[in-house]
């Protein structure tokens, strides 16, 4: 792991922000009682990774950028009343939420209802602790960081359930059960896809994954395209984003598990929705898109700028799918997770394990990664297209232009294979 | 200011006895299952403590045992809860005192 | 384990876990008891991380907090008319007595034994665990997967309603 960075150890060298934190901590250690730096270091890490990166991103990219961009993609103006081009919209939203009354229904379970937003916010902050912003700028370089991400991302599901149940309201309970069952179903292909990545690179830590991608001069998205697709779909399902946002389907079940929340409690849920999307985007760009390394560009451009840019690019992809795809029904979602994604994940695991064995048992050189990238991309396209055709998806039968009912001459049902129970006397 | 093996084992023992109390005294079948899960967690804690602190030439054995205990606990929780739901559908109760058809 | 940090972490985690265990015992509402159980699972995961078993700590959170707790919550929600009360049977007093005496026996044995311990933790990584599971313990590993499949199929078969069984029955 040859680490040739141009960043020096001076405190003013912004290319490596760990210089700044090290100088601050050493300075404090000189005239403060002995153990205070251990408390100060996490606070600095929290301030750096969450307060400076995530909160402004949440406000500008998440609230304003998302609504404006989705509006423009859908041929309408986004927010354009508050301030020039609607730029002050997040501030207006924040002020509105803070002065709004946070109602608590009389029959609700007050303790659980108050704790649920806290349990929702905490894992999002925890997730940013492991993301490396540079070669020496990672707050907690855990050797099992991938597993940490999976563990922490299963916690907000519980918070959503607590929120939905505590409101003592049928619609909230529906929303809560839907979101829990959806999250649990989509976790399985997500874990199996990431397992393929771990098998291939042989490491679970995020900084090690970035160094693997840097040393082999290839991004993991090229070597593991199926894993990337599974990660993208799995993580948008965990985040309850359209097309899988049945949890708070606005037109269906009032507001799902958030029905009884108003004011800043709702604001916490909404803000952390965006915060989680940013965390998942940061994580995805670390594992699949190379993190802070950019084929050598990271020696001149500060690496934290590179990863921030990649995170926002990934978040833009989330936003794009949200703007264009319609919402799926709950049974369509479950079928998709269990019947489509799980076999694809298992087949991917077989392919990756075979490739890895061929690589290590025969002692082939490391340049075979490029051959594997090409082979994997071809196999990924073949697997995804082939499996969906096997399950009955025929894109040539989808009409390319919407047809009006009276033009076609009445209702034209799309031919569907008969269900298993029919056809018997 | 140090913590040794005895403190960890004490916590494990106390948690085990808490779980035992819950499992033996709850009326709801799901409550009994929660007690069993507490006991299994206490056992896991004891195993990992021994893996960390004991003099051994293969200290990883404690962690492998915990993997198996977690697996078996998950399987047992699934089947026990399926049983509870099935009993509820037939008897309309999950009260362990009222599921006494086999009583003489 | 020396130092202020690990000691403080140990006592904080012990407090959280034992109080959560007490909450499972003492809370009247079944769903509150489940939430306390989840808190105790998280406390145990913290203990695993303190004992340098990070893989097991993450696995504990993913499996126990992420999956088993969800199972318990679904079971509670699928039994609506059974009442949500977490009351005790008339075996409460003997059970508590047994638990306290067992705790006394355990604590006496623990403090009385002379445990041979290592001072520095053996550095065990996830790859050591994987190696052990696939070389020395491969037979229980495979049997565990068979057990999980059996439990999966069994749980699904147990909760099928009569109509669902009729749908899939052979004609």
pLDDT single digits (tens) A51-62 = 878 888 888 888
Judging contacts by C-beta atoms under 8 Å, the chain B residues touching residue C146 are: none
The minimal CB distance from A144 to the residues C32, C66, C126 is found for: C126
φ, ψ at C117 (rounded to 5°) = -125, 155
Interface test with A, best of C62, C123, C171 (most A CBs within 10 A): C62
CB contact, 8 Å: C20 with chain B?
Answer: no
Count Cβ neighbours within 10 Å for each residue of A400-425 and write b for 16 or more, e otherwise.
Answer: eeeeeeeeeeeeeeeeeeeeeeeeee
Q: How many whole angstroms separate alpha carbon B50 and alpha carbon C110?
A: 12
Angle between helix C30-50 and B5-25 (nearest 10): 160
The minimal CB distance from A161 to the residues C73, C125, C171 is found for: C73
φ, ψ at A114 (rounded to 5°) = -80, -30
CB A131 within 8 A of CB A57: no
* CB interface of C with A, residues 48-107, below 8 Å: 54-55, 57-59, 61-62, 65-67, 69-70, 73-74, 77
Contact C124 B22 (CB under 8 A): no
- Higher pLDDT: A424 or C135? It is C135
Name B2's bridge partners.
Answer: C2
The minimal CB distance from B11 to the residues C14, C86, C121 is found for: C14
Tell me how crowded residue A10 is: count the other CB atoms within 10 A of its CB. 11
B21: pLDDT strictly greater than 90:
yes
φ, ψ at A140 (rounded to 5°) = -140, 100
C-alpha closest to that of A336 among A397, A221, A246: A246
Judging contacts by C-beta atoms under 8 Å, the chain A residues touching residue C125 are: 143
Percent of chain B with pLDDT over 90: 68
Nearest-Cα residue of chain C relative to residue A204: C126
φ, ψ at C57 (rounded to 5°) = -65, -45
Contact A184 C70 (CB under 8 A): yes
Residues contacting residue A181 through CB under 8 Å, at least 6 positions apart: A330, A334
pLDDT of residue A423: 45
ipTM above 0.90, yes or no: yes
Q: State the first-to-last Cα distance of chain C, in angstroms, to the nearest integer.
A: 66
Q: How close is the nearest chain C Cα to the Cα of A82, in Å?
A: 42
Return the partners of chain A (3 or more C-beta pairs < 8 Å). Answer: C
Interface test with A, best of C8, C45, C58, C84 (most A CBs within 10 A): C58
pLDDT of residue A228: 94
CB A88 within 8 A of CB A64: no
CB A281 within 8 A of CB A318: yes
Indicate the DSSP class of residue A250: T
pLDDT of residue A248: 57
Contact A112 C55 (CB under 8 A): no
Q: How many whole angstroms separate alpha carbon C24 and alpha carbon C2?
A: 32
Residues contacting residue A116 through CB under 8 Å, at least 6 positions apart: A159, A160, A162, A163, A166
Judging contacts by C-beta atoms under 8 Å, the chain C residues touching residue B78 are: 71, 151-152, 155
Structure token digits, residue A136: 């020496």
CB B31 within 8 A of CB B81: no
Establish, for the pair of chains B and C, how many residue pairs have beta carbons separated by less than 8 Å: 252
Judging contacts by C-beta atoms under 8 Å, the chain C residues touching residue A143 are: 54, 125-126
The minimal CB distance from B11 to the residues C18, C79, C102 is found for: C18
Q: How many whole angstroms separate alpha carbon A164 and alpha carbon A169?
A: 8
Residue whose tokens read 């950019």: A294
Indicate the DSSP class of residue A395: G
Nearest-Cα residue of chain A relative to residue C55: A144
Residue range C28-38: average pLDDT? 91
CB contact, 8 Å: C48 with chain B?
Answer: yes
pLDDT tens series, chain A, 425 aa = 335 555 666 766 777 777 777 888 888 878 877 777 778 888 888 887 788 788 888 888 888 888 899 899 988 988 888 888 888 888 888 898 889 888 888 888 888 888 999 999 999 888 888 888 888 888 888 889 999 999 998 899 888 888 888 888 777 787 788 888 888 899 999 999 999 999 999 889 999 999 999 888 889 999 999 999 999 999 988 888 867 666 555 545 566 777 778 888 888 888 888 889 999 999 999 999 988 888 878 777 888 888 989 999 999 999 999 888 888 888 888 889 999 999 999 999 999 999 999 988 888 777 888 888 999 999 999 999 999 888 888 877 777 777 777 777 777 676 776 655 544 44
pLDDT of residue A103: 81
φ, ψ at A135 (rounded to 5°) = -60, -30
Count Cβ neighbours within 10 Å for each residue of A34-59 and write b for 16 or more, e otherwise.
Answer: eeebeebbeebbbebbbeebbeebbb
Q: How close is the nearest chain C Cα to the Cα of A239, in Å?
A: 15
CB A205 within 8 A of CB A143: yes
Sign of the torsion formed by the C-alpha atoms of A294, A272, A112 and C76: negative
């Amino acid at each position: 792991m040859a680490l040739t960075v141009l960043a020096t150890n001076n405190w003013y060298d912004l290319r490596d922000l760990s210089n700044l934190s090290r100088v601050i901590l050493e300075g404090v250690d000189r005239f403060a009682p002995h153990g205070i730096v251990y408390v100060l270091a996490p606070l600095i890490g929290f301030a750096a990774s969450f307060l400076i990166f995530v909160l402004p991103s949440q406000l500008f990219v998440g609230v304003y950028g998302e609504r404006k961009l989705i509006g423009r993609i859908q041929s309408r103006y986004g927010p354009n009343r508050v301030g020039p081009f609607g730029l002050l919209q997040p501030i207006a939203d924040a002020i509105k939420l803070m002065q709004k009354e946070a109602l608590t229904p009389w029959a609700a379970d007050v303790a659980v209802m108050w704790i649920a937003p806290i349990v929702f916010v905490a894992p999002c902050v925890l997730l940013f602790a492991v993301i490396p912003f540079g070669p020496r700028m990672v707050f907690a370089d855990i050797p099992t960081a991938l597993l940490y991400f999976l563990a922490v991302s299963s916690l907000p599901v519980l918070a959503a359930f607590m929120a939905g149940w505590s409101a003592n309201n049928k619609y909230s309970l529906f929303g809560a059960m839907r979101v829990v069952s959806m999250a649990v179903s989509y976790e399985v292909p997500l874990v199996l896809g990431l397992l393929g990545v771990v098998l291939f690179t042989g490491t679970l830590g995020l900084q090690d994954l970035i160094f693997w991608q840097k040393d082999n001069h290839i991004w993991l998205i090229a070597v593991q395209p199926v894993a990337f697709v599974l990660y993208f779909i799995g993580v948008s399902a965990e985040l309850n984003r359209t097309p899988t946002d049945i949890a708070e389907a606005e037109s269906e079940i009032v507001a799902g598990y958030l029905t009884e929340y108003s004011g800043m409690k709702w604001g916490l849920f909404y803000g952390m929705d965006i915060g989680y999307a940013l965390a998942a985007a940061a994580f995805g760009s670390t594992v699949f898109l190379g993190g802070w390394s950019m084929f050598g560009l990271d020696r001149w451009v500060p690496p934290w700028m590179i990863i921030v840019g990649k995170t926002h690019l990934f978040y833009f992809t989330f936003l794009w799918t949200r703007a264009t795809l319609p919402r799926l029904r709950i049974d369509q979602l479950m079928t998709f997770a269990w019947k489509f994604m799980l076999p694809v994940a298992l087949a991917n695991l077989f392919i990756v394990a075979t490739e890895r064995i061929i690589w290590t048992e025969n002692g082939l050189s490391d340049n075979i990664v490029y051959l594997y990238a090409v082979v994997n991309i071809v196999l990924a396209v073949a697997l995804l297209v082939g499996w969906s055709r096997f399950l009955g998806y025929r894109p040539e039968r989808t009409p390319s232009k919407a047809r009006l009912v009276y033009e076609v001459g009445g209702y034209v049902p799309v031919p569907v294979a008969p269900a298993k129970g029919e056809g018997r006397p | 200011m140090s913590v040794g093996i005895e403190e960890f084992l004490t916590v494990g023992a106390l948690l085990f006895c808490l779980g035992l109390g819950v499992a033996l005294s709850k009326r709801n079948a799901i409550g009994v299952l929660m007690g069993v899960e507490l006991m299994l967690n206490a056992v896991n804690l004891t195993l990992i403590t021994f893996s960390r602190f004991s003099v051994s030439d293969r200290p990883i054995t404690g962690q492998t045992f915990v993997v198996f205990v977690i697996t078996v606990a998950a399987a047992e929780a699934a089947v026990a809860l399926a049983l509870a739901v099935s009993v509820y559908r037939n008897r309309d109760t999950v009260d362990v005192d009222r599921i006494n058809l086999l009583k003489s | 384990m020396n130092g202020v940090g690990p000691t403080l972490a140990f006592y904080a985690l012990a407090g959280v876990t034992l109080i959560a265990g007490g909450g499972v015992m003492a809370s009247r509402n079944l769903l509150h008891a489940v939430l306390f159980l989840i808190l105790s699972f998280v406390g145990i995961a913290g203990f695993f991380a303190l004992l340098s078993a990070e893989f097991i700590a993450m696995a504990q959170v993913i499996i126990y907090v992420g999956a088993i707790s969800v199972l318990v919550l679904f079971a509670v929600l699928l039994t609506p008319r059974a009442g949500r009360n977490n009351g005790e049977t008339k075996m409460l007093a003997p059970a508590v007595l047994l638990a306290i005496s067992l705790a006394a026996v355990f604590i006496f044995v623990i403090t009385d034994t002379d445990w041979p311990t290592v001072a520095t933790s053996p550095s065990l990584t996830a790859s050591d665990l994987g190696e052990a599971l696939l070389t020395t313990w491969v037979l229980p590993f495979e049997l565990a997967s068979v057990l999980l499949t059996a439990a999966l199929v069994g749980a699904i078969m147990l909760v099928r309603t009569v109509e669902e069984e009729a749908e899939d029955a052979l004609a």
